[in-house]
Amino acid sequence: MSSWATRLAVLAAGTVLTLAVGLPILASAQPADSAGGQLNTSKIPLHLVEHIQAAAGTCPQLTAPLIAAQLWVESGFQANAVSPANAQGIAQFTPPTWTDWGTDANSDGVADPFDPADAIAAQASYMCSLIEQFRRAGYAGDVVDLALAGYNAGPGAVQQYGGMPPYPDVVKYVAKVRDNQTTFTTALPAASGRAPDGTWPDETCTIAPDPTTGTGCITPRTANLVTHLRNSGWNQVTCWDEHAWNPTSDHPLGRACDITIGRLGRRPNISEQAQGDQLAAQLQAAAPALGINYLIWAGQIWSTERSNEGWRPYGGGGVYDPGDITGGHYDHIHASMY
């Protein structure tokens, strides 16, 4: 494996989660919400989606939209947040609670409340423990609401009142999480989500004009990718194009986008290369959630159907010169959708 492919594999494995510029990610298949929807990933920074998805289902009552809503209320998705009470990280664990529930979810050797992978996994475990504790106790009220109250005020408050503590701040916290749960839930469109067998149903080019070019059209799945990229600060994105020279291109079908790294026609500098590597790794990790078919970047190609092979040398597909800066995709990342 080349040094570049090795570096990208490490990034995709999650040992590096964000750049200094704070780029986000996505990943893993989207579990359905109990209310009939799924996680609205367009509302969430890319680097958090895979962790939220992985934590969903830790117990039956814990859905991805609920986890996202709680994180938003706790910290506004800020991994380095610290409250006046010294609650730390994206999930706002106090040091004593972290001692009990902290976990090294990404196996980097450190259980860190400021690491979203660790904090979100710990959040899920703690919430599920509270849900089960209050369910067994038979306290009055919805067990998820009680767990949220226990997370916010401590389980002792719920135990003291045998149900929802009558503290205005706690009641307000629970209501705010529940309200935001709706924000982070999206209906599951038949043509956008995965089929029961794990495949991605075909989508037609129905969104017109393409918001990245002002012409042509893109599919809803591609539009979701564009939203993610723009929310993450990537604005040099172009999707629909005739691509008359390439009869097999996904661009005229509205199923592909190119993300410029640096400037078209020149090789990225060191900083731009690092950003491109990071984004490529993030998109690779997000592929199961977004429906990405394959990616091309810096002379390498990765595809979902051959994901076990990792990043492979890109040969140009008989159309492009892989040694050329643009033909080899050294100045842009190509993403094709299912």
Domains and CATH numbers, the chain: 3-20+194-337 (no CATH), 37-186 (1.10.530.10)
User: From residue 15, how far is each of 12, 278, 282 by CA, in Å?
Assistant: 8, 11, 11
Decide if 256 contacts 239 (C-beta within 8 A). Answer: yes
The string of pLDDT tens digits covering residues 17-61 is 332 233 333 333 333 333 335 788 778 888 898 899 889 878 888
Q: Tens digit of pLDDT for each residue in 159-177?
A: 999 999 999 999 999 999 9
Please choose, from the candidates 267, 262, 264, 261, the residue with its C-alpha nearest in 3D space to the C-alpha of residue 280: 261
116 φ/ψ angles, rounded to the nearest 5 degrees: -55, -35
218-269 pLDDT, tens digit per residue, is 999 999 898 888 877 788 999 999 988 898 999 999 999 999 999 999 999 9
| Residues involved in catalysis | 74
Three-class HEC string of 112-130: CCCCHHHHHHHHHHHHHHH
